[in-house]
Amino acid sequence: MTVASDSDDLQNPDLQLTRRSARPAGTVVTVRGIEIGGSGLVIMAGPCAVESEDQLLATARAVKAAGAHILRGGAFKPRTSPYSFQGLKEEGLRLLARARDETGLPIVTEVLDVRHVELVARYADILQVGSRSMQNVILLEEVGRSGKPVLLKRGMSATLDEYLSAAEYVMSNGNGDVILCERGIRTFEPSTRNTLDLNAVPMLQRRSHLPVLVDPSHGTGHAWMVARMACAGVAAGADGVLVEVHPDPASALSDGEHALTPDEFAVMASQLAAVGLAVGRSMATSRRGVETAPEVAR
C-alpha cells in the first residue's frame, strides 16, 4: 500500500476527494466482475476506432483469447483533421455491445461531448474521457453524474495537479469510480508521438488512491515500442495497461502505426504476466472466479 505524507496532501489543498489520505487503502473499481486497482493487473485492448463488424469481432475474439480483460474501441473519434475518419458513432456503440455479448468482455469507449454522455452510457461499461477533453469541466461534471465508471486520460500538457483536479471534478459530482491513465505528455522530443511519463505512475499512487493505468500506444506512437513500455509501466507499479490492437494495422482508419497485431498482443500479454510476477502482481481474474490471464512465457 502506498501512503502519502502530510506534505504530499498539502501540495494542493483543493484535492479533497482524490488525495491518498481520503482513502488510504486505495480504490478498486469493479466492472462486470473485473477489479481495477486490486491485486491483479488488468489489460484493456482493442482497436483505436470501430471500423466494421468484422474488424471489431476479429479483434475482440483475439484479445480475449490472449488474456485481455476489457475491450476498448472508439465509436466517436476526435481527430486533428476534420476530414479524417470520425468514427461510426452510434453504430459503433452497437457493434461494441455485440462484441461484449459474444466475448463477455466489458467495453470502454470515449465520450466527447455532454450531448453524447447519456447515449454512450447506455452501451458502455466504462466512459473514457480522452486527453483532449481532460479539462472540459462541463463534460467531467456530466460523466460524474452518469453512474458509470470513468477512465480519465491525462492531458498531453497537463501537470499532475491539473490532472488530479480533473478527477476531482468527476468525483465531486458523485462518482468515485475513476481510473487514471497516463498516456504520454508532449515534450520537445520528436522521435515519438509523446513521452510516456512513467514518473507519473508512482507519484499518482503516492498522492491519490485511484487506480493508475498506462497507455503505451499513444505514449510512444510506434507499435514496436508498445510491449516494452507496457512492461515498463507494470514494473513501475501500474495497475494495468490500455493498448491498441488491430487485425491489419496497415489498413487501419485511425492510428494504425501504433496498433499491435493480434499475434504481437498475445506475446505482450505473456510478457506482462511474467513482469507482473517479478514485481509481485498476478493477472486479474473475475470475481466470479473465471481466469482471463494467459500463461506466463517460459
Q: Is the pLDDT of residue 292 over 70?
A: no
pLDDT class for 11, splitting at 50, 70, 90?
low
Cβ neighbourhood burial of 237 (10 Å; 0-12, 13-18, 19+): middle
Q: In order of start, what are the domains of the chain with their CATH numbers?
A: 41-280 (3.20.20.70)
pLDDT class for 295, splitting at 50, 70, 90?
very low
Query: Rounded distance, CA 5 to CA 203, Å?
Result: 12
For position 282, what pLDDT does the model report? 96
Handedness of CA 116, 18, 155, 193 (dihedral sign): negative
* Radius of gyration of the chain, Cα coordinates, nearest whole angstrom: 17
Query: Rounded distance, CA 1 to CA 260, Å?
Result: 33
User: pLDDT tens across 165-205, in order?
Assistant: 999 999 999 999 999 999 999 999 999 999 999 999 999 99
For position 296, what pLDDT does the model report? 36
User: pLDDT tens across 20-68, in order?
Assistant: 999 999 999 999 999 999 999 999 999 999 999 999 999 999 999 999 9
Number of Cβ within a 10 Å radius of residue 215? 29
Residue with cell 498516456: 183
Q: In this structure, are strands 240-244 and 212-214 parallel, antiparallel, or unpaired? A: parallel
- How far apart, in Å, are the Cα atoms of 282 and each of 11, 38, 56, 236, 286? 33, 10, 28, 15, 13
What percent of the chain is modeled with pLDDT above 90?
Answer: 86
The whole-chain average pLDDT of the chain stands at 92
